[in-house]
Amino acid sequence: MSRPLAVVVLAAGLGTRTKVSVPKVLLPLCGRTLLATVLDTVAELRADRTVVVLHHGKERIEETLADRDGLAIVDQGEPRGTGHAVQVAMEALADFDGDVMIVYGDVPLMTADTLQALRDARGSAGASVLTAYPDDPTGLGRILRGSEGEMLGIREERDCSDAERTIDEINAGFYCYDAAGLRPLLAGLSDDNAQGELYLTDTVFALLDDGQAVVTVAADDPEDVTGINDLRQLSLATQIMRERILLEHLGNGVIIDDPASTYIDHGVTIGRDTRVLPCTVIHSGVVIGEHCEVGPFSHLRVGTKLENRAEVGNFVETKKAHIGEGTKAKHLTYLGDAVLGSDANIGCGTITANYDGKHKHQTTIGDGAFVGSGTVLVAPMTMGPGSSTGAGAIVTRGTSIGEGETYVGVPAKPLRARAATDGGDK
């Protein structure tokens, strides 16, 4: 039987270098926060326990975690270094026996495969340490090795000799320990240093001084260990994550004409043989079937679902819209809080006016309905199967257009009633 696993997520930092008011770990990354991205990755490990260490912005961050079961959230208090953060986390794991992995809430590109490799590598060693070979190691702690490649320690760059600064292997800051072995290491930490903080790296030195083995695992991609300290780094991480998302969809048979201008969030489902045209934005939670066409210049927001063969074209925005099989909305249209049946045609310039200033209301459009260009459908309202509206019609709230009926005019009325009002046929 495999050993139990506890994961400690360090997320108590203030993040002053971002220069924004939102806590750093709540910055957005392709439809998720940084912290949510990390927690989703951690969830793939199926850990027995997960502890999130917070402080700055704790209440605000906790609100975003309310729907996540099984998290233990602890307050570090005034942060005094990574060692101190893990000390606080281990208080919540006082009864835990197994592997303890340390990860960071502001390193969102880390993969579950790399974390699993870090855990697997520890074996009976005192700890395993994740390393990486970035293009530019400036400012990062270097891994010191002996003549046979064994790990000798970690040297912060400010303490490196000129020769040590040429080392291209860095400490990524991710560790895996045995819980029983970690506790005395944490108890032995000292804040006798220039920063007056407790450093988790000192646990590695303690293990080596005690003659215990410390093994290393190199990340396959140095991008995985990229931390987010400012908005420039967030922008770079967003580009990397967006490319990963697009590559996954391409690998699943989705045709993306111009990946460079296509923005797809995490958590989007797209069926094979669907084509996404340039300058399209698709937000998290959207579901698109097979053989659909989306774009160019489409904006699909939360709650949108396209059934097979549906088409959403240029300058069409959707939100909480269920678009039926074979239905088309090709031009300059807003569909919000709407349910559309199959094989309907939505003319250019259609608007579902779903908001009355206080509440949102639903528009229902039946199978085979035809909505004329420039129509405004004021919700709540219903169009029956095979019904239609004339160009420029303003259909007022509460209207129920019957099956096969046609409404025209401002305000829109049934075509026969409108003809009678106008004096009938002449």
Domain with 261 in it: 243-421
> Is 148 a member of any domain?
yes
Domain annotation covers residue 426: no
Residue that terminates a domain, selected from 165, 198, 225: 225
Specify the CATH number for the domain of residue 247: 2.160.10.10
Q: What is the pLDDT of residues 377-422, one digit of tens each?
A: 999 999 999 999 999 999 999 999 999 999 999 999 998 765 566 6
What's the pLDDT at 139?
85
Q: pLDDT at residue 426 above 60?
A: no
The residue from 225, 255, 283 where one domain ends is 225
* pLDDT above 90 (res 347): yes
Output the CA torsion sign for 345, 349, 350, 355: positive
Residues 247 and 194 in one domain: no
Q: What is the mean pLDDT of residues 311-328?
A: 98
pLDDT score for 159: 83
Q: Is the pLDDT of residue 105 over 50?
A: yes
**Model pLDDT, residue 182:** 97
Please indicate, yes or no, whether residues 168 and 211 belong to a single structural domain of this protein.
yes
Instruction: Evaluate whether residue 230 is within a structural domain.
Output: no
**Top-confidence residue, 225 or 157:** 225
Look at residue 235 and tell me if it is in a domain. Answer: no
Shared domain for 276 and 413, answered yes or no, is yes
Residue 17 lies in a domain: yes
pLDDT of residue 353 exceeding 60: yes
Q: What is the pLDDT of residue 368?
A: 98
Q: Both 92 and 126 in a single domain?
A: yes
Rounded Cα distance between 70 and 197, Å, is 30
In this structure, what CATH number is given to the domain that contains residue 221? Answer: 3.90.550.10
Whole-number Å distance between alpha carbons of 276 and 298: 9
pLDDT of residue 419: 59
78 with 26, same domain? yes
For residue 407, the model assigns a pLDDT of: 98
Give the Cα-Cα-Cα angle 163, 165, 166 (nearest 5 degrees).
70
Give per-residue pLDDT as tens, 6-47: 999 999 988 889 999 999 999 999 999 999 999 999 999 999
262 & 203 share domain: no
Confidence (pLDDT) at 423: 55
- According to DSSP, residue 244 is labeled H
pTM of the model: 0.92
Domain termination residue (choose one: 190, 225, 260): 225
The least confident of 189-193, 347-351, 386-390, 418-422 is 418-422
If residue 421 lies in a helix (H) or strand (E), which one and from where to where?
Answer: helix 415-421
Residue 406 covered by a domain: yes
Q: Which region holds residue 273: left if phi is over 0, alpha if psi is between -120 and 50, else beta?
A: left
Sign of the Cα torsion 30, 31, 37, 43 reads: negative
Given a contact cutoff of 8 angstroms between Cβ atoms, the answer to whether 252 and 270 are in contact is yes
DSSP codes joined into one string, 257-319: S-GGG-EE-TT-EE-TT-EE-SS-EE-TT-EE-TT-EE-SS-EE-TT-EE-TT-EEEEEEEEE
27 and 134 in one domain?
A: yes
Per the structure, the count of domains in the chain is 2
User: Percentage of the chain surpassing pLDDT 70?
Assistant: 97
Catalytic residues: 331
Q: Among 301, 324, 302, which Cα is nearest to 311's?
A: 324
Same domain, 51 and 124: yes
> pLDDT > 90: what percent of the chain?
88
Do 181 and 277 belong to one domain?
A: no
Together in a domain, 290 and 174: no
Evaluate whether residue 271 is within a structural domain.
yes
Nearest to residue 262, comparing CAs of 293, 298, 289?
Answer: 298
- Predicted confidence at residue 158, as pLDDT, reads 83
Q: Is residue 234 part of a domain?
A: no
Same-domain check for residues 200 and 263: no
User: Does residue 82 register a pLDDT over 80?
Assistant: yes
pLDDT digits (tens, 9 = 90+) for 290-312: 999 999 999 999 999 999 999 99
C-alpha 383/C-alpha 395 separation (Å) is: 10
Question: Rounded distance, CA 100 to CA 119, Å?
Answer: 9
Task: For residues 326 and 290, state if they share a domain.
Answer: yes
What integer is the mean pLDDT of 87-115? 97
pLDDT at 2: 82
Q: For residues 275 and 149, which has the higher predicted lDDT (pLDDT)? A: 275
Average pLDDT over the chain, rounded to whole? 95
Alpha helices in 93-134 (DSSP H): 112-122
Q: Which helix (H) or strand (E) holds 180?
A: helix 179-187
Quick one: how far is CA 162 from the chain centroid?
41
How confident is the model at residue 425, as a pLDDT? 46
